[in-house]
Chain A
Amino acid sequence: MSVNNRDPLVVGGVIGDVLERFTRSIDLRVTYGQREVTNGLDIRPSQIINKPRVEIGGEDLRNFYTLVMVDPDVPSPSNPHLREYLHWLVTDIPATTGTNFGNEIVSYESPRPTSGIHRLVLVLFRQLGRQTVYEPGWRPQFNTREFAALYNLGLPVAAVYFNCQRDNGCGGRRT
């Protein structure tokens, strides 16, 4: 199913700020503890200290996938001049398995936004082959589009995002 204008990824600006339009073709299931991440869900940093469980679909075990997790709203959504911050990068994930079976080339760093409500985006790409992706070397000012172009990853096959603000944030509402 391709992304339409009411799709949360479009409404939330993920398509545009981070990704191009794409067609979902692989299942992507991200779970922090007991909570499955659905688009736009509000999660606090204390709930995402440890890496989530990520399970992917697909059918052919010979296909390998890369998972990227970025924050495009650094240091704050109103002034995101450090866009994007790379939180996690796992490659060589075989279809039907999960990140535990992949190669964690950039370790999971738990998000700790200080200012504003940040989007945290998880994107799945299909690799052309195995071990064809290398670590970028730094986390801030990562560019998912360029990264995908560099390694011929093409358009995403799946993506999901959630919202995160600091633990004692007011939810964007002045009281």
Chain B
Amino acid sequence: MLSSAKHKINHSDFSISSSTSSSLSHSLSQAKNMTQVTMEEEWKEINLASLHQHRQLNIDHEPVLSNQNPNKSIFQDFLNKPLNQEPPPSSSSTHHGSLLAPPATVISLNTHSIDTHFDESAMFGCFGKKRGQDSDDSRGDRRHKRMTKNRESAARSRARKQERAYTNELELEIVHLQKENARLKRQEEQMQLKKAEATQHQTKKILQWSLTSPF
């Protein structure tokens, strides 16, 4: 489990010579007992291990793995690669999807490979905001992702607010319509009464007339 504090691990020259599973685990174990390496490489290690676990080692990734350049650019490549790729057709069709499928953010990589209940704030803490070796790119990326999520959250809030307003409107209209309905019914009743009276009166008159007609 990644802690929220930045931490360095003792690694050797982090080297992966081929993509086969045995050498992968060999280099991982080798990595456990040596010199300094940054968080990026530890992260790469974890991701590669999960890749192996999920059996999604993609041919396209070999060049990345065998490139033994341990500096931060490889991390960028690793991140950027999946965004340009199609998900491999043989990947499992589970909802979690492939790690190689375009994960919109590093955050989703994080979620899928580590723990589905990973709290968002902890995720950011893992990366840390003040890592001196970060390129501006990845920092901008994270900020951009955060902005997007914030925007979505704001949109949801506005939607909720809008519905509340709409429901209120409808409720008011119901009350208004009920009152009007009651009023119109009363009106109709009265008109019916008047009409009944009028026809009665009319009939009387006709009768009177006939009674008094001169023959």
Contact = CB atoms under 8 A, between A and B. Distances in A.
Given A8-B163, A12-B163, A79 B156 contact: no
Nearest to B97: A81
Given A75-B116, A75-B117, A39 B96 contact: no
Task: Specify which of B112, B117, B163 lies most central, judged by the most chain A CB atoms within 10 Å of its CB.
Answer: B163
Given A39-B167, A78-B152, A79-B111, A117 B160 contact: yes
A77 B152 CA distance: 9
Interface of A: 6, 8, 11-13, 38-40, 75-79, 81-82, 115, 117, 141, 163, 172
Please classify the interface of chain A as helix (H, G, I), strand (E, B), loop, or mixed, using the class held by over half of its residues.
loop
Given A78-B120, A81-B111, A82-B116, A40 B167 contact: yes
A78 B149 contact: yes
Nearest to B112: A81
Interface residues of B, number: 22
B156 A11 contact: no
Interface of B: 95-96, 107-108, 111-112, 116-117, 119-120, 149, 152-153, 156-157, 159-160, 162-164, 166-167
User: Which of A6, A11, A39, A117 has its CB near the most chain B CB atoms (within 10 A)?
Assistant: A11
A166 to B, nearest CB: 14
A13 B153 CA distance: 13
Contacts of B162: 11
Contact of A81 (B96, B159, B160): B96
